[in-house]
Amino acid sequence: MTALFTAQLLTIFPEMFPGTLGQSLAGKGLDAGIWALKTLDIRDFSSDKHRSVDDTPAGGGPGMVMRADVLGKAIDAASKNAGPDWPLVYMSPRGRRFEQADAKKWHKAGGVTILCGRFEGVDERVLEARGVEEISVGDFVLSGGEPAAMVMLDAVVRLLPGVMGANATLDEESFENGLLEYPHYTRPAVWEEREIPEVLTSGHHKKIAEWRHARAEEMTRIRRPDLWSSYVRAKEK
Q: Tell me: the pLDDT tens digits for 81-99? A: 999 999 999 999 999 999 9
Residue 157 predicted with pLDDT over 80: yes
Residues 96 and 116: their CA atoms lie apart, in Å, by 15
- Whether residue 51 contacts residue 76, with contact meaning beta carbons closer than 8 Å, is answered with no
The answer as to whether 122 is a domain residue is yes
Mean pLDDT of the chain: 94
Residues 152 and 90: their CA atoms lie apart, in Å, by 12
User: Average pLDDT, stretch 179-199?
Assistant: 95
Q: Tell me: the pLDDT tens digits for 196-236? A: 999 999 999 999 999 999 999 999 999 999 999 999 999 89
Shared domain for 129 and 41, answered yes or no, is yes
Shared domain for 132 and 181, answered yes or no, is no
Choose among 109, 102, 103: nearest CA to 156: 103
Q: How confident is the model at residue 54 (pLDDT cuts 50, 70, 90)?
A: very high
The answer as to whether 17 is a domain residue is yes
What pLDDT shows up at residue 139?
93
Q: Residue 78 belongs to what domain range?
A: 5-157
Choose among 37, 30, 35: nearest CA to 15: 37
Q: How confident is the model at residue 7 (pLDDT cuts 50, 70, 90)?
A: very high
The answer as to whether 152 is a domain residue is yes
What pLDDT shows up at residue 237?
83
User: Global pTM?
Assistant: 0.89
Residue 63 predicted with pLDDT over 60: yes
Shared domain for 9 and 105, answered yes or no, is yes
- Give the burial string for 39-70 (b: 16+ CB within 10 Å, else e): bbbbbebbeeeeeebbeeeeeeeeeebbbbeb
Q: Tell me: the pLDDT tens digits for 108-119? A: 999 999 999 999
Q: How confident is the model at residue 125 (pLDDT cuts 50, 70, 90)?
A: very high
Q: How confident is the model at residue 171 (pLDDT cuts 50, 70, 90)?
A: low
Shared domain for 67 and 115, answered yes or no, is yes
Number of folded domains that form the chain: 2
Residue 174 predicted with pLDDT over 60: no
Q: How confident is the model at residue 175 (pLDDT cuts 50, 70, 90)?
A: confident
Shared domain for 90 and 129, answered yes or no, is yes
Q: What is the CATH number of the domain that holds 229?
A: 1.10.1270.20
